Structure formats: C-alpha cells, structure tokens
C-alpha cells in the first residue's frame, strides 16, 4: 500500500498460495485466482476508511486470467458503494 499526497494505491495479488511454490511453471500461476465476496469483504472497510484520509483511492487487482481481475475489481467497487449507500441511508453498515 502506498499513500502519496492524499492518493492511496493498493494492490491485490491473488490468493493462490500453492502457486507461489510453482512459479517456474508459469509466472501467472501465483496470481491465478477468482476473488469471492468473502475474499473482498475485509477490503471494503479498509477502502472506505482510506477514502476518509485520501482524496483518491485506487485498488489494483492483479489476478490471472485478466477477466478475473476485472470481475474482482468490479465486485469490490460495488461492495464499497453498497456499504456507502447503506451507511448514508441507515447511519451504519449492517
């Protein structure tokens, strides 16, 4: 994670722990992962908290294949937005 001049940049690198031991077979294997909602849930509060401190928050999702990265990024953005909307409506996130 990096914060410079009120800009936060973080990166999610996949969760394929077993793949890190086999990096000689394929450089993509360690990051071959499809994020589930449960994987992203801890990041929702982190991103929301960081958005209180930084003017811009960017989270890069580095997974293979590329469509899994896009899906993970979209799911995280939607979860953060839903939490923001819930808090605005109810005063807390259920």
Going by C-alpha positions, the residue among 58, 39, 63 that lies closest to residue 47 is 58
Residue-range domain boundaries for the chain: 2-90
- DSSP reduced 3-state for 92: coil
Going by C-alpha positions, the residue among 75, 5, 84 that lies closest to residue 49 is 84
Digit-by-digit pLDDT tens for the chain (94 residues) are 555 678 888 888 776 666 666 655 666 676 778 889 998 999 999 999 999 988 899 999 888 788 888 999 999 999 999 999 999 999 887 7
- The H or E element spanning position 66 is helix 66-90
Cβ pair 73, 59 in contact under 8 A: yes
Q: Which two tokens stand for residue 40?
A: 């992203």
Residues sharing a CB contact under 8 Å with residue 83, sequence separation 6 or more, in sequence order: 44, 45, 48, 93
Q: Say what the pLDDT of residue 32 is.
A: 77
């Amino acid at each position: 994670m990096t914060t410079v001049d009120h800009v936060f940049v973080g990166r999610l690198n996949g969760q394929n722990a077993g793949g890190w031991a086999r990096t000689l077979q394929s450089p993509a294997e360690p990051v071959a992962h499809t994020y589930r909602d449960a994987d992203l849930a801890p990041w929702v509060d982190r991103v929301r908290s960081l958005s209180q401190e930084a003017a811009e928050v960017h989270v890069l999702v580095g997974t293979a294949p590329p469509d899994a990265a896009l899906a993970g990024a979209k799911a995280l953005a939607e979860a953060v937005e839903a939490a923001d909307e819930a808090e605005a409506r109810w005063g807390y996130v259920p």
